Chain A
Amino acid sequence: MLIRTRKPHHIGENEVTPESVYYARRRFMAGVAGLGMAAALPRGAWAASQYDDVEQGSHPDWFASRLENANWQAVTAGDNDKLTPFNDATHYNNFFEFGTSKDDPYKHAGAMTTEPWTIEIDGEVARPGTLDVDQLLGEQQLEERIYRLRCVEAWSMVIPWLGVPLSEIIKRAEPTSDAKFVRFQTLMRPEEMPGQRSRFGLIDWPYQEGLRMDEAMHPLTILSVGMYGRVLPNQNGAPVRLVVPWKYGFKSIKSIVRISLVKEQPTTAWPTINANEYGFYSNVNPDVDHPRWSQARERRLPNSLFSTNMIDTQMFNGYGDEVASLYKGMDLRKYF
């Protein structure tokens, strides 16, 4: 592994954190530090007013019962990170199982059956098993995590997720010392997923993603079951999806049916199609461009015809203080 050192005077001007960002980050870290400690508010107060106009959908029992005790705003984003309107977050998605257009998921994902749903946990664990969502969540309190979401296609949103730390779920399965990576798998059900029926699809279904063990155990990594104070809409990955905010969106795999702890780095969907364009790590990195477009900036959505709403992309999507240490000594140009 190539270790790169930098002399102190190489620190560029743009690495000096502006005050506002600094305070935003402080608040954010206070949020992380206080995980699970903040008093749970009833949905009534903050969330209800915040998500007034959000259409509620029908909440399964396992969700409704946990919503009352959710820890709202356990993690917040920066001052300039305005929440993306619910309508945009649900009508502009990449979920290739349902088609390649941004509006295909909301048009077609309604056909996906999410009850009943089971998640298989297997591989290098002492306690493998098949769980429904209720069992998967267990005693864990739902937390609201407001995260920036950076798509590899150079657009971004700010989404208030509801979920639980993945680490807690992995711990419960008691990984063995051989568990070095975590592999995730999306539902495979061609009869409900037109993208999986296409004879011209490039993705080798079922969709698979993976994380290194320390990434999976990181407190920022969550399994999400809701957003905007409600259950996840199907097009956003119901009933259970991964959210890893410092990586490009495609790492945050949707509609998970299987979580396997494995010894070797798993093969994942996008690098399999094109290893030059997509890497296993896929950390948000403004300095490593996609071969076909720059990653230095991003369009914060929604934008308009009159403004592309371009903002600078931040290293690790702005979560560097929390996650940069995971990659110490790694050449992130090589392991992109």
Chain B
Amino acid sequence: MRLWRCAVFVAALLPFLWWAFQVAAGQAGPEPGQYLLLNFGQCALILLLLTLSLTPLMKLTRWKGFAVIRRQLGLWTFSYGVLHLTSYLLFILGLDFSALGADLQRRPYIMVGFAALLMLLALAVTSNRYSMKQLGKRWKFLHRLVYIALALVLLHFFWVVRADMGQWSAYAFAGAVLMLLRIPVVSRALGRVRPRRGSGPKAPRFS
């Protein structure tokens, strides 16, 4: 499990290293800031979808490996979200905060992205045992924010599509399937594919 965790860590770090290398090597095109912005954004969305697929996958396969990387992938999602925001502030806005107000007014999708990132932040800072204990039942409730974050990110992305809905539709479809799998009837059916054996210790349940 340790190895598996490390492998996931490295795999999640690789895109960052690859894009950083491309920029350093002058292979990121004439607008490297925009290149990083879009890639980090897409990567954050993919990681978010992957994170949300872990619980259904675990239900389906009963493999604990999916559960042990859930927190890690969640934190990676947040990290790429922060990289995406940082790219925007540094490379697009050029830290010219006087332009931020006007930009926000004109681009409501930035507010939407910002709201999503704030939610991811709340999840990231409470993604530890201490917070789980402190928050008790409310923890689970709080972490349902992830569904709203996903909806906001999809809206954020929808707003910037210009010529072709293909890519967006694929992400939205994946998101919709992941939501469907959480409808109680569906999720119970998922759990019956490979029933729990014997009376061993109860596996933790995830919403």
A residues at B contact (CB < 8 Å): 84-85, 88, 91-92, 96, 99-100, 102-103, 155, 157, 195, 198-203, 273, 289, 291-294, 299, 301-305, 307-308, 310
A50 → chain B closest CB, angstroms? 19
Stretch of B49-57, B64-72, B159-167 on the interface side: B159-167
Residues of chain B within 8 A of A305, CB atoms compared: 23, 32-33, 36, 90-91
Write the B1-33 contact mask toward A (1 if CB under 8 angstroms, else 0): 000000000000000000000010000011111
| Residue in B29, B33, B163 whose beta carbon sits within 8 Å of that of A308 in the complex | B33
Residues of chain B within 8 A of A99, CB atoms compared: 164
- Assess the A199–B163 pair: CB atoms within 8 A: no
B132 at the A interface (CB under 8 A) = no
B142 at the A interface (CB under 8 A) = no
Considering only CB atoms and an 8 Å cut-off, how many residues of chain B contact the other chain? 27
Residues of chain B within 8 A of A302, CB atoms compared: 29-31
- Assess the A293–B94 pair: CB atoms within 8 A: no
Dominant SS at the A interface? loop
Bound complex: CA A307 to CA B161 (Å): 26
B102 to chain A: closest residue by CB: A294
Given contacts A88-B29, A102-B29, A301-B30, contact A200 B91 (CB under 8 A): no
- Assess the A92–B163 pair: CB atoms within 8 A: no
B24 to chain A: closest residue by CB: A305
- Assess the B94–A308 pair: CB atoms within 8 A: yes
A318 → chain B closest CB, angstroms? 20
- Assess the B29–A92 pair: CB atoms within 8 A: yes
- Assess the A303–B102 pair: CB atoms within 8 A: no
- Assess the B29–A91 pair: CB atoms within 8 A: yes
Residues of chain A within 8 A of B109, CB atoms compared: 292
B107 at the A interface (CB under 8 A) = yes
Given contacts A96-B164, A200-B165, A202-B165, contact A292 B30 (CB under 8 A): no
Bound complex: CA A278 to CA B115 (Å): 29
Bound complex: CA A198 to CA B164 (Å): 8
Bound complex: CA A307 to CA B31 (Å): 10
B99 → chain A closest CB, angstroms? 8
Bound complex: CA A231 to CA B206 (Å): 61
| Residue in A92, A100, A291 whose beta carbon sits within 8 Å of that of B30 in the complex | A92
Residues of chain A within 8 A of B166, CB atoms compared: 100, 198-201
B25 → chain A closest CB, angstroms? 13
- Assess the B106–A202 pair: CB atoms within 8 A: no
| Residue in A96, A289, A299, A310 whose beta carbon sits within 8 Å of that of B31 in the complex | A299
B118 at the A interface (CB under 8 A) = no
Given contacts A100-B164, A202-B163, contact A303 B106 (CB under 8 A): no
Q: Closest 4 interchain pairs by CB? A: A302-B30, A88-B30, A200-B166, A200-B165
Bound complex: CA A299 to CA B96 (Å): 14
B33 to chain A: closest residue by CB: A305
Residues of chain A within 8 A of B168, CB atoms compared: 200
- Assess the A202–B30 pair: CB atoms within 8 A: no
Residues of chain A within 8 A of B106, CB atoms compared: 289, 291-294
Bound complex: CA A96 to CA B163 (Å): 7
| Residue in B32, B92, B164 whose beta carbon sits within 8 Å of that of A202 in the complex | B164
B207 at the A interface (CB under 8 A) = no
A103 to chain B: closest residue by CB: B29
A97 to chain B: closest residue by CB: B163
A162 → chain B closest CB, angstroms? 21
Given contacts A292-B106, A308-B94, contact A301 B31 (CB under 8 A): yes
B131 at the A interface (CB under 8 A) = no
> Could you show 15 A-B contacts with beta carbons less than 8 Å apart?
A85-B30, A91-B30, A92-B31, A96-B163, A100-B162, A201-B164, A201-B165, A202-B162, A292-B107, A292-B109, A292-B159, A293-B107, A294-B106, A308-B33, A308-B92
Write the B79-118 contact mask toward A (1 if CB under 8 angstroms, else 0): 0000000000011101000000011001101000000000
- Assess the A200–B31 pair: CB atoms within 8 A: no
A268 → chain B closest CB, angstroms? 14
Residues of chain B within 8 A of A304, CB atoms compared: 32-33
B94 → chain A closest CB, angstroms? 4
Residues of chain B within 8 A of A289, CB atoms compared: 106
- Assess the A303–B30 pair: CB atoms within 8 A: yes
A292 to chain B: closest residue by CB: B107
Residues of chain A within 8 A of B169, CB atoms compared: 200
Residues of chain A within 8 A of B94, CB atoms compared: 307-308, 310
- Assess the A201–B33 pair: CB atoms within 8 A: no
Bound complex: CA A103 to CA B102 (Å): 30
